[in-house]
């Protein structure tokens, strides 16, 4: 079914250009005469098949650098501008150099040749200027504006004029000067970008853009809009703003703007995709947004979960995703008082960050932190024991969840201690689905992070597909350009005429997924008259979806739901054709990465590049490892669970397993997730190595390559029982979570060879250990 409809879409690639998408997807590019005919007749139709259509999510983080020169040095402070070295024609992959214009041009050419007539709209997630990484050539305002203009021109030419599809840009933290700091509008920068992005911002919204740098585009008129969020007003490092709690703050106003428009969208049955540059990352080492902004955003996404289709971001350069947990919503942290108390702390953060420009926090540390969170997720597929969970009075909003993250899987000792402190709470049995916010996992929200064009790893682009059932003959953006009445008129709403005094506080409706038992409990609590005073918010809390409304497109498969994506990358090592020996990315903890070019001379005296092309790195449609039927939150939560899974822990859970029927509300849940195999399938225990050696064991599993893994997997499937017996003897040190390994590999866009990757797979829990943990190098997170 799915394969068929995709084949139809991709077939349209053959219409506009004779070249097709290269290799791995080849099998789905089966042109059908029928489809081509249809397309030829209605050139302004949504371009996909009956069911699925395409979005170009990235390109993100281009970082074009007009000073880049091939065969220069990748060293710090030189940044591929001077001296001699092995920097390639299309960029110096795995280094911190920015992108040459040739890479920018080649990217657009490739997209025009290969994705023409397939795309419905393009999401361009910012950072279209180089970094300030060369003291000899400091960034100037005209350069920042210049490369932004260059890219705006390329986007307009290729898509708006060429393909007649909308492009939605957004601010990156490097698109302004000094970087990171954008003052509240109106200001010169917003003014400048109103002009640069004139072709992309709908006219009715230019006034509002001038104030805040946010806008939306109805990419399918009256059905679907993409909201370009100005994340710089949420960004913790933006010293030009404070937080999202005061009416005067642009972050506060942006949330108001969202609320007003999302209310209208709900009323009109329209849906929204969110996009922005800086994603809402929030782990111990990495908090991208001001906490008050994160709080409100998460609350908003929760309340509008019937409207929002998905959220896509850039900035981090690594390919990954994150889940916001609505259990963390805390109204106290949306108040001016709280923000004031935390302002000092925040300022000291900002000050220290300034010194650590390229981040002490490494990407791998950060990914490990995500994984630690995910390790606490319950398994949706196999049976979970009834869990003893404590009441948690701290979270007002989400008391229906009563999720205790430490309870289901073993907690880190520190957290245990903390918990021992709050004794005397009553325990009760929990349904694991309740912990997820019901069978659609509505407790969680998904943010997808596209990796960059700038070749800190390899340059990438991502094509997302979404379901267009029932919209096949709908008017397109291009139709509506000629006839603006076809757009909904909501865009005209002007936030800046709102009544600022408006302080009505709506009681928060707990929403559609509160169970009966919870409601009763809630009532009881109210009767008891809890001591806790409700902090009155100084903003209008958005309404939750009506209880009768079905789950939104992010949660249950329906029209507009993201069905999957294809990740493309350009192997610059191959394309530049300048590396001599077996070259590996040097990944050290230093602030600046010279990449695989460190100390090398190019193979050719004159650059001799190959013809540029992107290839498929992976596609979620035929993905053996991720096994994503679509990108709905519950599927991503389950993927996160599998990535986070720690063998020892899951075994424990298993021993207590009870009949899943008790947990499956309605029954179809199991059917939908049933494609996943038994949990063991994701594990590689390396028993051969383990049995024979002990001391040296930790040093290598070098034999471990693709083939070996495949063989083992096959063997596993055949002799399942034997295998399991063997496994019991395993030392936990040797258990390796393959889904986690794959997640890591993809995070670094396949630049880190498998055996080297193992080093980064280690975590404190000893899930996979090779070599001495103390000696592990860290991959520096290039967030700028
Ligand atoms: C990139 O394309 C532009 C036209 O869009 C052209 O003017 C420029 O010379 C090209 N630069 C390179 C390095 O190919
Ligand atoms: C697309 O949505 C329709 C309507 O909800 C559904 O029947 C169909 O199965 C969906 N297609 C895919 C590929 O998810
Ligand atoms: C990229 O190309 C180089 C040089 O041909 C090759 O050694 C390497 O394996 C390729 N990387 C990937 C991920 O295919």
Confidence of residue 442 (pLDDT cuts 50, 70, 90): very high
Identify which ligand lies nearest to the alpha carbon of 112.
1
Identify which ligand lies nearest to the alpha carbon of 69.
1
Which atom in ligand 1 lies closest to the alpha carbon of residue 153?
A: 5
Identify which ligand lies nearest to the alpha carbon of 65.
1
Angle between helices 141-155 and 188-196 in degrees, nearest 10 = 30
- Tell me the three state secondary structure of residue 430: strand
For residues 19-33, average pLDDT: 28
Which atom in ligand 2 lies closest to the alpha carbon of residue 5?
A: 13
What is the Å distance from ligand 1's center to 139 Cα? 21
As to burial, measured by CB atoms within 10 angstroms (0-12 exposed, 13-18 middle, 19+ buried), residue 483 is exposed
Best of 459, 567, 571 for a ligand 3 pocket test (most atoms within 8 Å of beta carbon): 571
**Residue nearest ligand 3's atom 13 by CA:** 750
Q: Is the CB of 2 under 6 A from ligand 2?
A: yes
- Tell me the three state secondary structure of residue 780: strand
What is the Å distance from ligand 2's center to 478 Cα? 25
Q: Is the CB of 102 under 6 A from ligand 1?
A: yes
The mean-pLDDT minimum among 103-112, 268-277, 667-676 falls in: 667-676
Segments of 531-670 assigned E as strands: 562-569, 615-619
Confidence of residue 421 (pLDDT cuts 50, 70, 90): very low
Q: Is the CB of 469 under 6 A from ligand 1?
A: no
For residues 305-316, average pLDDT: 96
What is the Å distance from ligand 2's center to 307 Cα? 17
What is the Å distance from ligand 2's center to 558 Cα? 5
Which atom in ligand 2 lies closest to the alpha carbon of residue 2?
A: 13
Confidence of residue 516 (pLDDT cuts 50, 70, 90): very low
Best of 90, 457, 572, 574 for a ligand 3 pocket test (most atoms within 8 Å of beta carbon): 574
For residues 684-698, average pLDDT: 37
Summarize pLDDT for 698-754 with one digit per residue, the tens.
Answer: 333 333 333 233 333 333 333 344 444 444 444 444 467 899 999 999 999 999 888
Best of 4, 552, 557 for a ligand 2 pocket test (most atoms within 8 Å of beta carbon): 557
**Residue nearest ligand 2's atom 4 by CA:** 558
What is the Å distance from ligand 1's center to 104 Cα? 9
- Tell me the three state secondary structure of residue 122: strand
Q: HEC profile for 123-172?
A: EECCCCCCCCCCCCCCCCHHHHHHHHHHHHHHHHHHHHHHHCCCEEECCC
Q: Is the CB of 16 under 6 A from ligand 2?
A: no
Nearest to 672 by CA among 512, 553, 555, 552: 555
**Residue nearest ligand 1's atom 13 by CA:** 102
Residue 498, pLDDT above cutoff 80: no
Report angle CA 408, 413, 414 to the nearest 5 degrees: 115
Q: What pLDDT shows up at residue 683?
A: 61
Residue 2, pLDDT above cutoff 80: no
| CA end-to-end span of the chain | 42
Which atom in ligand 1 lies closest to the alpha carbon of residue 150?
A: 5
Identify which ligand lies nearest to the alpha carbon of 471.
2
Summarize pLDDT for 615-656 with one digit per residue, the tens.
Answer: 999 999 999 999 999 999 999 999 999 999 876 544 433 323
Identify which ligand lies nearest to the alpha carbon of 99.
1
Handedness of CA 350, 353, 358, 361 (dihedral sign): negative
Rounded to whole angstroms, the Cα distance separating 387 from 407 reads 7
What is the Å distance from ligand 3's center to 582 Cα? 10
What is the Å distance from ligand 2's center to 678 Cα? 26
Which atom in ligand 3 lies closest to the alpha carbon of residue 750?
A: 13
Best of 24, 459, 573 for a ligand 3 pocket test (most atoms within 8 Å of beta carbon): 573
Rounded to whole angstroms, the Cα distance separating 119 from 289 reads 31
Which atom in ligand 3 lies closest to the alpha carbon of residue 458?
A: 13
Mean pLDDT, the chain, whole residue set: 73
**Residue nearest ligand 1's atom 3 by CA:** 105
DSSP codes of every residue in 54-80: EEE-------B-TT--TT----TTTTT
CATH tag, 11-380+443-502+546-573: 3.60.21.10
As to burial, measured by CB atoms within 10 angstroms (0-12 exposed, 13-18 middle, 19+ buried), residue 424 is exposed
Q: Which residues line ligand 3 (CB under 6 A)?
A: 571, 573-574, 750
Q: What pLDDT shows up at residue 645?
A: 87
Rounded to whole angstroms, the Cα distance separating 209 from 229 reads 10
Could you tell me which residue, 765 or 755, shows the higher pLDDT?
Answer: 755
Could you tell me which residue, 388 or 298, shows the higher pLDDT?
Answer: 298
Q: What pLDDT shows up at residue 493?
A: 52
Nearest to 194 by CA among 170, 210, 174, 215: 210
Residue 24, pLDDT above cutoff 90: no
Contact 566, 26 (CB under 8 A): no
Q: What pLDDT shows up at residue 646?
A: 78
What is the Å distance from ligand 2's center to 714 Cα? 32
Kindly state the tokens that stand for 740.
Answer: 């986690």
Which atom in ligand 3 lies closest to the alpha carbon of residue 617?
A: 13
616 CA to centre of own chain: 19
CA distances from 108 to 64, 113, 373 (A): 13, 9, 38
| DSSP 8-state secondary structure symbol assigned to residue 240 | T
Residue 484, pLDDT above cutoff 90: no
Angle between helices 291-303 and 250-268 in degrees, nearest 10 = 10
**Residue nearest ligand 1's atom 4 by CA:** 105
Q: Is the CB of 25 under 6 A from ligand 2?
A: no
The mean-pLDDT minimum among 7-11, 95-99, 526-530, 767-771 falls in: 7-11
Summarize pLDDT for 175-221 with one digit per residue, the tens.
Answer: 999 999 999 999 999 999 999 999 999 999 999 999 999 999 999 99
**Residue nearest ligand 1's atom 1 by CA:** 105
What is the Å distance from ligand 1's center to 105 Cα? 6
Could you tell me which residue, 324 or 714, shows the higher pLDDT?
Answer: 324
Q: Is the CB of 240 under 6 A from ligand 2?
A: no
Residue with tokens 């997720």: 377
Identify which ligand lies nearest to the alpha carbon of 467.
2
Which atom in ligand 1 lies closest to the alpha carbon of residue 106?
A: 14
What is the Å distance from ligand 2's center to 3 Cα? 13
What is the Å distance from ligand 2's center to 299 Cα? 28
Q: Is the CB of 51 under 6 A from ligand 2?
A: yes
Q: Give the whole-number percent of the chain exceeding pLDDT 70.
A: 63
Q: Is the CB of 557 under 6 A from ligand 2?
A: yes
Contact 382, 654 (CB under 8 A): yes
Q: Is the CB of 556 under 6 A from ligand 2?
A: no
| Residue 343, C-beta contacts closer than 8 angstroms, at least 6 positions apart | 242, 243
The mean-pLDDT minimum among 41-45, 438-442, 522-526 falls in: 41-45
Residue with tokens 């063991």: 680
Rounded to whole angstroms, the Cα distance separating 368 from 767 reads 11
Identify which ligand lies nearest to the alpha carbon of 581.
3
Q: What pLDDT shows up at residue 430?
A: 60
**Residue nearest ligand 2's atom 13 by CA:** 2
| Residue 681, C-beta contacts closer than 8 angstroms, at least 6 positions apart | 713, 716, 717
Handedness of CA 464, 466, 468, 469 (dihedral sign): positive
Nearest to 95 by CA among 641, 623, 584, 510: 584
**Residue nearest ligand 2's atom 6 by CA:** 558
Nearest to 701 by CA among 712, 685, 714: 685
What is the Å distance from ligand 2's center to 2 Cα? 9
**Residue nearest ligand 2's atom 12 by CA:** 467
């Amino acid at each position: 079914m799915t394969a068929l409809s995709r084949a139809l879409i991709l077939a349209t690639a053959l219409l506009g250009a004779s070249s097709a998408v290269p290799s791995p997807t080849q099998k789905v590019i089966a042109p059908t005469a029928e489809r081509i005919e249809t397309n030829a007749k209605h050139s302004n139709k949504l371009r996909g098949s009956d069911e699925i259509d395409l979005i170009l999510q990235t390109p993100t983080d281009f970082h074009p650098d007009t000073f880049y020169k091939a065969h220069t040095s990748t060293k710090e402070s030189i940044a591929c501008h001077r001296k001699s070295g092995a920097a390639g024609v299309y960029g110096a992959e795995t280094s911190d150099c920015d992108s040459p214009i040739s890479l920018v041009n080649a990217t657009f050419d490739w997209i025009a040749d290969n994705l023409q007539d397939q795309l419905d709209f393009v999401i361009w997630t910012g950072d279209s200027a180089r970094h300030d990484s060369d003291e000899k050539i400091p960034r100037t305002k005209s350069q920042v504006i210049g490369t932004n203009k260059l890219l705006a021109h390329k986007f307009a030419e290729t898509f708006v004029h060429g393909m007649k599809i909308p492009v939605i840009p957004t601010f990156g933290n490097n698109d302004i000067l000094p970087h990171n700091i954008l003052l509240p509008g109106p200001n010169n920068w917003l003014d400048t970008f109103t002009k640069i992005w004139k072709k992309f911002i709908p006219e009715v919204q230019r006034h509002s853009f001038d104030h805040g740098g946010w806008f939306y585009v109805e990419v399918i008129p009256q059905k679907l809009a993409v909201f370009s969020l100005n994340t710089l007003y949420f960004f913790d490092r933006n010293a030009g703003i404070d937080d999202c709690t005061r009416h005067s703050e642009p972050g506060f106003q942006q949330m108001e703007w969202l609320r007003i428009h999302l209310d209208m969208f709900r009323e009109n049955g329209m849906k929204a995709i969110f996009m922005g540059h800086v994603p809402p990352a929030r782990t111990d080492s990495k908090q991208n947004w001001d906490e008050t902004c994160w709080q409100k955003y998460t609350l908003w996404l929760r309340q509008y979960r019937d409207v929002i289709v998905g959220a896509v971001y850039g900035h981090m350069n690594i390919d990954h995703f994150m889940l916001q947990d609505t259990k963390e919503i805390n109204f106290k942290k949306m108040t001016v008082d709280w923000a004031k108390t935390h302002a000092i702390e925040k300022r000291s953060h900002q000050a220290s960050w300034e010194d650590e420009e390229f981040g002490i926090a490494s990407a791998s540390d950060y990914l490990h932190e995500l994984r630690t969170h995910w390790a606490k997720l319950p398994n949706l597929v196999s049976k979970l024991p009834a869990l003893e969970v404590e009441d948690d009075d701290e979270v007002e909003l989400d008391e229906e969840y009563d999720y205790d993250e430490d309870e289901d899987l073993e907690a880190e000792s520190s957290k245990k201690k903390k918990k021992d402190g709050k004794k005397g709470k009553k325990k009760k049995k929990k349904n694991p689905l309740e912990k997820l916010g019901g069978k659609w996992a509505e407790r969680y929200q998904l943010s997808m992070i596209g990796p960059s064009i700038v070749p800190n790893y390899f340059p990438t682009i991502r094509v997302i597909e979404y379901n267009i059932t029932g919209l096949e003959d709908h008017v397109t953006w291009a139709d509506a350009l000629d006839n603006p009445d076809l757009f909904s008129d909501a865009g005209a709403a002007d936030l800046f005429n709102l009544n600022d005094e408006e302080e009505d506080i709506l009681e928060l409706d707990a929403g559609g997924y509160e169970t009966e038992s919870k409601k009763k409990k809630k009532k009881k609590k109210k009767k008891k008259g809890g001591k806790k005073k409700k902090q009155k918010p100084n903003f209008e809390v958005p309404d939750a979806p009506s209880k009768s409304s079905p789950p939104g497109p992010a949660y249950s498969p329906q029209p507009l739901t993201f069905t999957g994506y294809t990740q493309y990358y350009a192997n610059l090592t191959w394309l530049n054709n300048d590396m001599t020996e077996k070259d590996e990315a040097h990944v050290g903890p230093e602030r600046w990465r010279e990449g695989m070019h460190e100390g090398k001379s190019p193979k050719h005296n004159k650059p001799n590049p190959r013809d540029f092309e992107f290839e498929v790195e992976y596609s979620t449609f035929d993905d053996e490892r991720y096994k994503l039927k679509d990108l709905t939150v519950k599927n991503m939560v389950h993927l996160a669970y599998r990535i986070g899974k720690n063998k020892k822990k899951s075994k424990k859970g298993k021993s207590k397993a009870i009949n899943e029927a008790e947990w499956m509300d309605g029954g179809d849940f199991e059917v939908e997730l049933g494609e996943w195999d038994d949990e063991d399938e994701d594990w590689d225990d390396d028993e051969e190595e383990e049995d024979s050696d002990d001391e040296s064991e930790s040093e290598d599993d070098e034999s471990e390559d693709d083939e070996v893994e495949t063989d083992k997997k096959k063997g596993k499937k055949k002799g399942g029982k034997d295998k399991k017996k063997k496994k019991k003897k395993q030392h936990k040190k040797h258990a390796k979570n393959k889904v986690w390994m794959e997640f890591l590999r993809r995070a670094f866009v396949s630049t880190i060879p498998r055996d080297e990757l193992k080093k980064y797979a280690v975590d404190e829990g000893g899930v996979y250990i090779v070599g001495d943990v103390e000696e592990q190098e860290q991959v520096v997170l290039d967030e700028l």
